[in-house]
Structure 1
């Protein structure tokens, strides 16, 4: 083992030193572009006249161009509506030349030309990918929903943002206090949901007011992260500190007495050029379209940026949220038919609640070793506590509407730690270029779950015009079990994007993961403890080929293998082995009309050929009725196609659209009907949004938008079991629906007003978990946001 580690570091040392020698004669240029008032300008095209090298300024007006041959070069700055500026810059070998520019207004009208400075969908690098690879060079489908979209659409919940993504969707919202995400037929658990690159507990609604962008990587990401579901991953990127002083205050008002003030402040600390801060905060309170359902939330997100040098920076980020809302398990079903109740009807007890507290802290260190090599380290800590005290899910509604309500209570206390180090670099072997990622990560969960005994509370009839609680007290429930479940993971991975030429690129990578999973269940009444443990490791390979006949088109294919852990034991009492999943993906990416429109098509197949299912027989050949005894006897196959369209702003218009088809079904099973669909996943989803911004007229500052989402028919309920004679389980068909939202906004100097109408058509459908958490979607609702920015 020691020799392997030594060899690993020798390889890194060789690559770094080799690269330093190969590129000793090159340097870099960094700078900032502002307007005449000193405000930073985003999306400015900065190019070097003598070469094809260039960059685009970020939201802080900053840019960086690497690998420039030493000597004098000519920088060209271009942006619509501003005068083009040229400037001579001396580049020194192995050094970073710094220069800043101020652009003046020109005569071009924004509404008359294409804004080519904005990055297209195929140019935006996703930070969750750990290495800077443009989507056009990546044999994988990715998507970014940026701040402009989030602000225009007044995104309140993550589900609002996902209206702009196809193939990734909300599959349920059990209890009304979470949004269960899925992609390509597979659920995204907390292992697939990230915030600033660290796993985020998704059993609650994330706060979106602090989010800069939402990143989605579809398909396999097993090489980058251990133990992730097959459908993909989602990363929430928060707003970062800035050195220039500024901020905003806003107030959002909405239907059902909703209000939400938001504060966002940033700037340097005491005028320092090395330390900057940012702090976001909000308070939220409101009722629901559901009777007797309400919520209240407090959220704070502070961060600090330390620029130790031109090459080294440290970002510290904190996160605190306290959220309390009514636990609402919906309207239930009667004999696997959705109960015919008004959308607003609440059948739980009025005092039901779900309380959560979540705190997190992240530290990220980035060090630019030289022009071509960078090392990054991330450490994260998260604490999560929740308490659920409410009626149980309505599973036994009688045909006449009678429901015996029982009470449940549970508490969760989870601590999570993560550490990660990545080395990325570029070098050449002859004419072949390499873009390398080498890294290691560790993470650890320690989850303590306390469950209480349940008790019958009362009996109601859900069809009564007004449900009158016969009781209003909160009963004392005895502690039943205390479960402690520590999980420890470690991984080592390496990946290389090899560019044989401008047209052919090959991606190869391999990850080794090791995981320890333990469980200790204390039954309080008997003081008996049951313990179990499992130790698993796996290799996850990734291979991909990209062919680019020209700079505006790319074809790709990829293969990857991942694993998912299983609970339970085999017929001999041994912990069940992980299930291995194979994924194949083919696609085409295009930049049409000279880069104005990104148009991508992806087809894929995901197959779990050793799915864990309840064993039919025990080790003695007798029929098995213990659901914890399992065998790798099933198979699930997901197949689909996705189409994405996204334009740059053109003549004031911008467009996003997409379509996905997915079929996820049992292709082998000893329990369920072969060919039956997995629950909660629609075959068809589609999305589109169009925005128009007025400029150069009396209506300058006004913008209009429409967003539409089609969510296809899917099934919930319970799959019919082949192993049970006259099985009463049935599937519930959930209707398709189309949701259309409209928005209008007006900007005047530092003020803005935005209005939104969601679900204009007042469409009716449901998010369903099993047959007992049947939650109606929200009706037509209104919101208004007034903001002041400086």
Structure 2
């Protein structure tokens, strides 16, 4: 479901500024395979090789996300897998970090410091846990609890019903196997960062059919920015069991608590030039913390009823609540004056419940080898409740950036309550989706895929004390069609067409809800997996078209109003190579080109213009080599092209940047020591948060160093 976002305002009298700041704050609060690849850790025969020194890519099954129980190279859609081993090797700490190492993915900022926004092929990415949609996230998931991320690019409405055309990021939670290692790890790094993490796994019976896992972690860190720090605590447990021959089940769940100083960027001058301040400059108060406790539970049953029929049931529940104060600045003028505002978030509750029932029937007995039909029913219930207060600042809501951090923080700290404005916004979304897909091998090299889903949305919204408004709209069908040709084993060419739709909660200037987002994609690609399944090469070209994209229009009665863009078209191509080139040498390389263009609109002057705040090209490379004796080295680069900040180039572009990362380590017996250096050459770069310069940009993290020691047992 789409959230509301902040937009630019004209600034007039103090009273007007307060009302506009209140409106801005209210809007801010609403934001919201199969195929074995190498031996897994512990499979050495003697049971003692439990140090994982590489990072696996190709042994995972993506059917939980795509609905297609086929190896990744045969799925007619671009998919990037990000394994736990890769995340450990690169010390990525957020979904934004992951996006910068994934072709076709873009890190689109971290509004308020709550969570990374990721776009796929230029459109907002959806979020799922174990194959079930969970809506927006108000926190950064801790990767210690995940086996991998599955980043599926392109429409997924045939699987999920309502979905954006860009794709979805699926978090696969960590389960327990008979050979799952236990470990304890201590990490220390720049700006007083430290982390203690432990994992314990065991089998509860001699047969190894009932296995448990428990994870605990605590991390605290300062920041290169003054006054900013954070802390998080993670508790997680799971049980995976073979209940009877052919019937397996799991229950995973945990509690996570995140605390971080709110920071929303440094406003730019009207022409888009950055303010002349250092990277450590902070606008806010060190006393303003956002706290988000998260509870999630998910489980499932998989039943192999026969050689032909398998059935799966999955359930998922997630609840988070963000509270605290968030300060920010906007409207920087040439003389250094800008405006301050505070959002006291008293409640920002997200509750998501999803259930999915699916079945796969293989058609081999009908003479159709390697063919199958799937049917699925999914239910999603997603609610958000947000409320807060805009406090008064009796010392004034205007600061000057040249007065320094202390003076600006002192103004923030003059806030008084009960405040000048209270807001509340409740939203509810319920979907019921029925879908079916048929994958038929019509001849030895040719496979055809067809899929259709029917979804009935129930969408409602309530602002303040006003009655609930129904934005449900009509039911919707979505299609997927594809053809795959495998002339030689391991080499697959494919063509595909897929559709998406997503209801919106935005309203226009007269109070009418915007029509749903609708999208369609044409994609052609090729995938090659080496005979030993250690290397996967993929290439894809795509043309995604979306209608009714919301664009800010004006603010009326403290509520942002939007108008729909008639149609945008995002075209491009992606290349990726992942796996082991030769023994000991592993690589994850990607390159993407994106051409986002407005194709239709009521304003004829916009037609043919390039969509702002999207880089046209990105590239990444991470590679590592393991020497004999346990030593290993690695390194990577991340490139992001310059970003246009206005459709008509009335403001300066955000410059392109290249970041370099290096790592090195040594395995000895059951221990591993590892060094990671990120942004090796200390590149100064910017990331935009809200697709407007009115609130400015966030400074990218300078060079940082971490050292970790892990003991496996």
User: TM-score scaled by structure 2?
Assistant: 0.86
C-alpha displacement at 1:598, in angstroms? 2.7
- 1:256 matched to which residue of 2? 191
8 Å Cα contact 2:633-2:664 kept in structure 1? yes
8 Å contact from structure 2 (residues 330, 339) kept in 1:
no
Q: Is the 8 A contact 1:121 1:143 kept in 2?
A: no
User: Displacement of 1:573 after TM fit?
Assistant: 6.5
Question: 2:462 maps to what in 1?
Answer: 520
- Aligned: 1:779 with 2:699: no
Report the Cα distance in structure 2 between the residues aligned to 1:626 and 1:210, rounded to whole angstroms: 41
Do the aligned partners of 2:234 and 2:256 also contact (CA within 8 Å) in 1?
yes
Deviations 1:606-653 (A, max 9, x none): 01245456899xxxxxxx999977776611000001111224251421
Structure number with greater Rg is: 1
Report the alpha carbon displacement of residue 405 of structure 1 after superposing the two structures with TM: 1.9
Q: Quick check: 1:686 aligned with 2:619?
A: yes
Alignment partner of 2:40 out of 44, 48, 59: 59
CA contact (8 A) 1:136 1:589 kept: yes
Alpha-carbon distance in structure 2 between the residues aligned to 1:574 and 1:61: 59
Over 3 Å counting, the alpha-carbon distance change for 1:615 and 1:689 in structure 2 is closer
Q: 1:400 aligns with which of 302, 326, 335?
A: 335
- Residue correspondence of structure 1 range 590-629 to structure 2 within 5 A: 590-591=528-529, 597-611=535-549
Q: Distance in 2 between matches of 1:544 and 1:755?
A: 45
Work out whether residues 187 and 194 of structure 2, in 8 Å CA contact, stay in contact via their aligned partners in 1: yes
Q: 1:555 aligns to what?
A: 493
| Matched residue, 2:311 | 375
CA distance in 2, matches of 1:465, 1:54: 59
Counterpart check, 1:661 vs 2:661? no
Match of 1:360 in 2: 296
Q: Per-residue CA shift, 1:16-40, capped at 9, x if unaligned?
A: xxxxxxxxxxxxxxxxxxxxxxxxx
Return the offset for 1:529: 4.2
Residues 153 and 119 of structure 1: CA distance in aligned 2, closer, same or farther (over 3 Å): closer
- The 2-side partners of 1:599 and 1:416 are apart by 36
Distance 1:474 1:614, change over 3 A: closer
1:193 to 127, 143, 152: 127
The Cα of 1:354 is off from its aligned counterpart by 1.4
Specify which structure has the bigger relative contact order, considering alpha-carbon pairs within 8 angstroms and separated by 6 or more residues: 2
- Cross-structure match for 1:445: 382
Deviates more, 1:732-741 or 1:160-169: 160-169
User: 1:432 touches 1:501 (CA, 8 Å); kept in 2?
Assistant: no
What SS class does the counterpart of residue 341 from structure 1 fall into?
coil
What's the TM-score once normalised by structure 1's chain length?
0.78
Q: How much is the aligned-residue C-alpha RMSD, in angstroms?
A: 3.1
In the other structure, the counterpart of 2:114 is 177
- Give the conservation status (yes or no) of the 8 Å contact 1:705–1:744: yes
Query: For residue 18 of structure 2, what is the aligned residue in structure 1?
Result: none
Checking the alignment, whether the CA contact within 8 Å between 2:132 and 2:356 is kept in structure 1 is no
For residue 319 of structure 1, report the CA deviation from its aligned partner.
Answer: 2.1
Unaligned stretches of 5+ residues in structure 2: 1-32
Matched with 1:747 is: 667
Whether the aligned pair in 2 keeps the contact of 1:587 and 1:602 (CA below 8 Å) is: yes
Separation (CA, whole Å) in 2 of partners of 1:379 and 1:405: 44
* Alignment partner, residue 26 of structure 1: none
1:311-390 aligned within 5 A: 311-335=246-270, 336-390=272-326
- State how many pairs are aligned: 664
For residues 133 and 785 of structure 1, the distance between their equivalents in structure 2, rounded to whole angstroms, comes to 37
SS at match of 1:757: strand
Do the aligned partners of residues 250 and 662 (structure 1) sit closer, same or farther apart at CA in structure 2, a change above 3 Å counting? Answer: same
CA shift in 2, pair 1:766/1:427, >3 Å = same
2:670, 2:551 → 1: CA distance?
59
Q: Deviations over 1:245-282 (max 9, x none)?
A: 74100011010000010011111237674432111111
Mapped partners of 2:559, 2:180: distance in 1: 59
Pairwise CA distance, 1:138: 1.7
Say whether residues 1:542 and 2:480 are aligned partners.
Answer: yes
Give the Cα separation in 2 of the matches to 1:227 and 1:751: 46
Q: Distance in 2 between matches of 1:319 and 1:591?
A: 36
Contact kept? 1:536, 1:578, Cα under 8 Å: no
Say whether residues 1:481 and 2:423 are aligned partners: yes
How far is 1:183 from its partner? 1.1
Distance 1:629 1:650, change over 3 A: closer
- Cα displacement (A) at 1:242: 2.7
Q: 8 Å contact 1:552–1:592 — kept in the other structure?
A: yes
Partner in structure 2 of residue 723 of structure 1: none
Residue matched to 2:410: 470
Q: Which residue of 2 aligns with 1:763?
A: 683
SS in 2 for 1:229: coil
1:293 is displaced (CA, Å) by 0.4
CA positional deviation for 1:56? 5.8
Does the residue aligned with 1:467 lie in a helix, a strand or coil?
Answer: helix
Once residues 789 and 579 of structure 1 are traced to their aligned partners in structure 2, the CA distance between those partners, rounded to angstroms, is 49
State the SS of the aligned residue for 2:333.
coil
State which drifts further: 263-272 or 221-230: 263-272
* CA spacing shift, 1:440–1:752, aligned 2, 3 Å: same
Q: More displaced, 363-372 or 589-598?
A: 589-598
Cα deviation digits, residues 74-98 of structure 1 (max 9, x gap): xxxxxxxx8xxxxxxxxxxxxxxxx
Aligned position for 1:645: 577
The answer to whether the aligner puts 1:413 opposite 2:349 as a matched pair is yes
Which residue of the partner structure matches residue 9 of structure 1? none
* Aligned residue among 489, 500, 505 for 2:447: 505
CA contact (8 A) 1:408 1:455 kept: no
Which of residues 239, 247, 268 in structure 1 aligns to 2:203?
Answer: 268
SS in 1 for 2:158: coil
Partner Cα distance (1:552, 1:295) in 2: 46
